[in-house]
Structure 1
Amino acid sequence: MLRRKLDRSLALIRAQMARLNARINALQEQVNGLQGGSSSVIAFLRGKLNTRVTIETTAGSIFGTLIAIGEDHVQIAEPNGSIVIVPFRSFLSVA
């Protein structure tokens, strides 16, 4: 009887592990898709180079002139002369 309960518990654990592995794989595919998406963001931002932009980020709004575009970040010159580096992963919107 104890052996049967143990076997059932192990079967449930294996099923849970299989579902978790499937979920992990799905999330990894989403992450891979987002990483590939940065090229479209870069293409969009190139059209705004040396113009004033407002970038909404997870930490707040940043306003200034877009002066450089890197592989995973942009540089903004704020009106007070400060240079801000903003990683793409922090972007919420660009205007």
Structure 2
Amino acid sequence: MLVCGTQAQADAGTFQSVCAECHTGGFKGFISGAPNVNKPSSWQKYLKRDTVTKMQEIVLFSSKDHKPKGGCPTCSDQQILEALDYIMTRVK
């Protein structure tokens, strides 16, 4: 069931509620060094280094620089993966 009405809106909604604080150039993103979706060039080293499958593993299970599920333990894996898909449409 999509609360927002369409898949694109659902993806954007999860991104806005979970990911945007770090990935839109705000203070948390500045402090953490998170790449900004508004600056696709900031994603290039990650796109070259990691496959989409690797990025999915990172956002779901964590890395030294990323909390599991972006710090949203109540989010489903599907919601997080859809937010990543949304990010990829913005930065590729």
TM-score, with normalisation over the residues of structure 1?
0.29
Higher relative contact order (CA 8 A, sep 6+): 2
Greater fraction of residues in helix: 2
Structure number with bigger Rg: 1
TM-score, with normalisation over the residues of structure 2?
0.29
